[in-house]
């Protein structure tokens, strides 16, 4: 469902991805690991279409269509979801209002049945419960005054409702304590299905104890330098990234 071939991309005109190849098939969970600055988050943001993140060479196809030609909202409507590393606040816009607009657009584009407000509320409450968020969060402004952990759980809650075909999780584990990490992992695992692809971008191995990937890739200097199964993550945990990149790890 995701085909990335020799992808080159810049952030604000600075080359970050330098010939990246990756294929994700339905049902697979991929983990992208690598030291800070290797281009992990860039990859997630390029795929989702953030401003200033430009594809300058190669291609990225989602469901056979070039992502470069699609607006961010079109990619979302096609079933691509990005769980943000730093979810932003939108004061005064309630979570519920936001979800309604998002689901109307995405479900509509995918030809899924429209949810009336009762169904929407029921589904949203169930999703909240799944990630241990009190239903009162639905009435609050999007991420407004949420703690770091609450913001991350809010992202997963949205993901559960949006039922994406491809979920990209950008460092969703950063800043989470062990309980929250388990909650988040449980949410993600519940979405694992033969039709769905999941890409986890993470710096640390610990998330992968809870969400066990099918493939692990090491990203360094804008390229995937090593791929393997879940055991690669354990190897990285023991040895760090240095033995692959040939550099001392800084962070």
Residue ranges in contact with another protein by CB under 8 A: 48-51, 71-73, 75-77, 81-82, 84, 86-88, 90-93, 97-98, 101-102, 105-106, 109, 141-142, 158, 162
User: Quick one: which of 50, 80, 86 has its CA closest to 65?
Assistant: 80
Residue closer to another protein (CB basis): 156 or 232: 156
Rounded to the nearest whole angstrom, what is the least distance from the CB of residue 141 to another protein in the complex?
7
d(C-alpha 29, C-alpha 213), whole Å: 5
Q: Where do runs of H (alpha helix) occur along 81-217? A: 95-109, 117-130, 148-162, 178-191, 207-210
What counts of helices (H) and strands (E) characterise the chain? 9, 12
Q: Please report, for residues 42, 66, 108, 194, the alpha-carbon distance to residue 60 in angstroms, rounded to integers and kept in the order given.
A: 13, 6, 25, 22
| Cα(162)–Cα(104) distance, integer angstroms | 10
Q: Which is nearer to another protein, 75 or 217 (CB)?
A: 75
Between 104 and 177, name the residue whose CB sits nearer to another protein: 104
Give the shortest CB-32-to-another protein separation in angstroms. 18
Compare residues 86 and 243 and give the one whose CB is closer to another protein: 86
């Amino acid at each position: 469902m995701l085909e990335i071939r020799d992808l080159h991309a810049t952030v604000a005109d600075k080359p970050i991805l330098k010939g990246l190849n990756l294929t994700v098939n339905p049902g697979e969970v991929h983990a992208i690991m690598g030291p800070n600055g290797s281009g992990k988050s860039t990859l997630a943001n390029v795929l989702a279409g953030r401003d200033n993140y430009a594809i300058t060479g190669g291609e990225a196809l989602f469901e056979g269509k070039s992502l470069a030609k699609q607006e961010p909202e079109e990619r979302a409507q096609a079933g691509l979801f990005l769980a943000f590393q730093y979810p932003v606040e939108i004061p005064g816009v309630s979570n519920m209002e936001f979800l309604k607009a998002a689901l109307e657009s995405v479900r509509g584009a995918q030809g899924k049945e429209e949810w009336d407000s009762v169904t929407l509320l029921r589904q949203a409450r169930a999703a909240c419960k799944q990630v241990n968020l009190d239903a009162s969060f639905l009435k609050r402004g999007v991420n407004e005054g949420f703690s770091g952990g609450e913001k991350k759980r809010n992202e997963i809650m949205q993901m559960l409702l949006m039922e994406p075909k491809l979920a990209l999780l950008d460092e969703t584990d950063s800043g989470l304590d062990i309980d929250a990490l388990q909650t988040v992992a449980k949410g993600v695992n519940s979405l694992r299905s033969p039709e769905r692809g999941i890409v986890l971008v993470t710096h640390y191995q610990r998330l992968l104890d809870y969400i066990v990937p099918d493939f692990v890739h090491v990203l360094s200097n804008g390229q995937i330098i090593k791929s393997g199964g879940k055991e690669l993550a354990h190897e990285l945990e023991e040895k760090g990234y240095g033995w692959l990149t040939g550099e001392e790890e800084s962070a």
